[in-house]
Chains A and B, each alone.
Chain A
Amino acid sequence: MKSGSRLERTFAEGKFAVTAEIFPPRTPSVRLLHKRAEQVRDYLTAANLTDNQSATVRIASMAASRIVLDAGVEPVMQITCRDRNRMAIQADVIGAAALGIKNILCVTGDHQKFGDHPAARNVYDLDSMNLIQMLKTMRDDGRFHNGDAIRNRSASPVVPPEIFIGAAANPFGSPRHFRPYRLAKKIAAGADFVQTQPVYDLVVFREWLQKAGDLGLIEKVHIMAGITPVKSVDALCYMRDHVPGMHIPEATIRRMTGAADPEREGFEMALEMICAVKDLCGVRGIHLMAIGWEKVVPLLIEAANIVPEPVAVHRGDRPDAEIAGKD
């Protein structure tokens, strides 16, 4: 086991994993996060805590991760390359490991132009590929990015962070034929699992998976298909026109436009998509991103009959050297 996280164990046992995004609030409210955690606790393998999602300031992913962990939900802490350099990120990784956070998802991050602080200066010291590589080096070699061992003094033991490393993938981005190779690079860099952009176009998604299979990738990484339920045609059009990297076919828009009860239709469409992707060869789980419609998450999971089997959540207290005072 690389991390022993519930997510990793789920894959290791050959079970189907279900994750969903929890969007940290903008206010310092533990109560709100507890409430969200409670809604999904019995339905998820783990929950992603986004990192200033859509380039908008929110409770830090690390803090939110620990708060939901305390509420019994295993966190996937997200890290973007936009706001922090390699020093800050490594400090966060060590800090997260100390807090018992075992899954980290590495993403490039939306440009601040799309968020609430367009006047900010971005960082992008690393790209998502470099970030994955750095985390793998920290975990597998017990070394920081500069090559130094992760320990306090030269004689003290090396204590690598035990983390399960995630990456994002966009099968629908262009140039499309390069996308499977980009997945290959992320795996070579060290990704253990991958969460995709929301799937609305099954044909393109299948082609991407097929190519990933041909390249021998689906044995090397756990792919989770992204699903975003929406309750109005406006939401679909907004995503199509304003969310970078989103691909929504005309047929989807048409179906929603013609719906008598768009909320019902949105639910059905998401459900159909889950059922369609969950049995595809290479799909090991579902990742739900129900922006603005969080309460649909448990309903969808139940309807799709993919409620994860209960696994005891391990509180992250580390039984290792620093606690025993060895370093």
Chain B
Amino acid sequence: MIVGKQKPIEEILEKTASFGSILVVGCGGCVTVCHAGGEKEVGILAEQLELRAMALHRPLTVIPGMAERQCDTEFIEQLRDDMDRVEAVLTIGCGAGAQTLASVFPQKPVIPGLNTRFIGAQVEHMNWAERCIGCGDCVIGDFGGLCPVARCSKHLLNGPCGGSNNGHCEMDPELDCIWDLIIRKLEASGQLDRLLEVTPARNWQTSRAGGVRRQKHEDSAL
């Protein structure tokens, strides 16, 4: 899922300071799951905005709102009535959600209240880690189901680099060296010989390097 983190409140307050009425919109998808942009967080953020406005003796109307999925115009349309009542919208959906808002409501300033961070998995309670960078041509089948593209700090296809340190990445002693994990996994399954062949350089055209990516379902009538 997409993992995001709310921006520092000071930054949000600064970017919203010039508006007298704001719709705060969360998303019921990934960012609800990672406790960064769901209904609860919308409530807290709305309250923070109101409290600050009160402290500064500024009039401010804050309307809390939710979209089941902010990256879907169908759900965004449901916000139209609330949107008509405010000067600006503050979203704590991911970057895709924020931009869907921006395109459905071209007249409204959209302020992002969340930093979209990565595609990740929950590795322990309330703790997420990056697992995929959406390279567009999944190769993990060659690496024991583990991804060196996303999880090696240098995207090495023929790791580990010289800095791998007792299972940890040279970047950070708290971070697993994915190449250490790959080697151990393939060893355990008796497939280490796969790593004795040089993996050739990748064709990055399917990744972001190939430009902005789109996808149309073949049977779009569905």
Q: Mark A267-309, 1 if CB is under 8 A from B, else 0.
A: 0000000000000000000000000000000000000000000
B163 / chain A contacts, CB cutoff of 8 Å: 110, 173, 244-245
User: How big is the A interface, by class?
Assistant: 35 or more
Report the separation of the CA atoms of residues A189 and B196 in the bound assembly, to the nearest whole angstrom.
11
Q: Among the listed A86, A185, A197, which residue makes an inter-chain contact with B196, where contact means beta carbons less than 8 Å apart?
A: A185
CB distance from A221 to the nearest CB of B (A): 15
Task: Indicate whether A81 reaches chain B with its CB closer than 8 angstroms.
Answer: yes
Are B162's CB and A127's CB within 8 A?
A: no
Are B180's CB and A174's CB within 8 A?
A: yes
B159 / chain A contacts, CB cutoff of 8 Å: 127
Q: Which residue of B lies closest to A131 (CB)?
A: B201
Binding site for A on B (CB under 8 A): 153-167, 170-171, 177, 180, 183-184, 195-201, 204
Are A133's CB and B198's CB within 8 A?
A: yes
Are A124's CB and B154's CB within 8 A?
A: yes
B166 / chain A contacts, CB cutoff of 8 Å: 174
Are A244's CB and B162's CB within 8 A?
A: yes
Report the separation of the CA atoms of residues A111 and B169 in the bound assembly, to the nearest whole angstrom.
11
Q: What 6 pairs across the A-B complex have the smallest Cβ distances?
A: A244-B163, A170-B162, A244-B170, A129-B158, A245-B162, A130-B201
A174 / chain B contacts, CB cutoff of 8 Å: 160, 164-167, 177, 180
Q: Among the listed B155, B160, B171, B200, which residue makes an inter-chain contact with A124, where contact means beta carbons less than 8 Å apart?
A: B155
Q: Among the listed A86, A110, A173, A188, which residue makes an inter-chain contact with B201, where contact means beta carbons less than 8 Å apart?
A: A86
Q: Please provide the chain A residues from 165 to 183 with a CB less than 8 Å away from any CB of chain B in the complex.
A: 168-170, 173-175, 178, 181-182
Given A125-B204, A130-B157, A185-B198, A108–B183 Cβ distance below 8 Å? no
Report the separation of the CA atoms of residues A219 and B55 in the bound assembly, to the nearest whole angstrom.
78
Report the separation of the CA atoms of residues A124 and B198 in the bound assembly, to the nearest whole angstrom.
16
Are B171's CB and A113's CB within 8 A?
A: yes
Instruction: Please report the number of residue pairs spanning A and B whose Cβ atoms sit closer than 8 angstroms.
Output: 93
Are A108's CB and B201's CB within 8 A?
A: no
Report the separation of the CA atoms of residues A181 and B184 in the bound assembly, to the nearest whole angstrom.
14
Task: Indicate whether A134 reaches chain B with its CB closer than 8 angstroms.
Answer: yes
Q: Among the listed A127, A133, A181, which residue makes an inter-chain contact with B156, where contact means beta carbons less than 8 Å apart?
A: A127
A-B contacts besides A82-B154, A133-B198, A133-B201, 9 pairs, CB < 8 Å: A108-B161, A125-B201, A127-B154, A127-B201, A129-B158, A174-B177, A197-B162, A244-B165, A245-B163
24 contacts between A and B (CB under 8 A): A81-B154, A108-B154, A111-B154, A111-B171, A113-B171, A122-B154, A126-B201, A127-B154, A127-B158, A129-B157, A129-B158, A129-B198, A130-B201, A133-B201, A173-B165, A174-B160, A175-B167, A178-B160, A178-B183, A181-B196, A182-B160, A184-B196, A188-B198, A244-B162
Binding site for B on A (CB under 8 A): 81-82, 86, 108-111, 113, 122, 124-130, 133-134, 145, 168-170, 173-175, 178, 181-182, 184-185, 188-189, 197, 244-245
Are B201's CB and A145's CB within 8 A?
A: yes
CB distance from B170 to the nearest CB of A (A): 4
A175 / chain B contacts, CB cutoff of 8 Å: 160, 164, 167, 180, 183-184
Q: Which residue of A lies closest to B163 (CB)?
A: A244
Interface core residue of A122, A130, A178, A189 (most chain B CB under 10 Å): A178
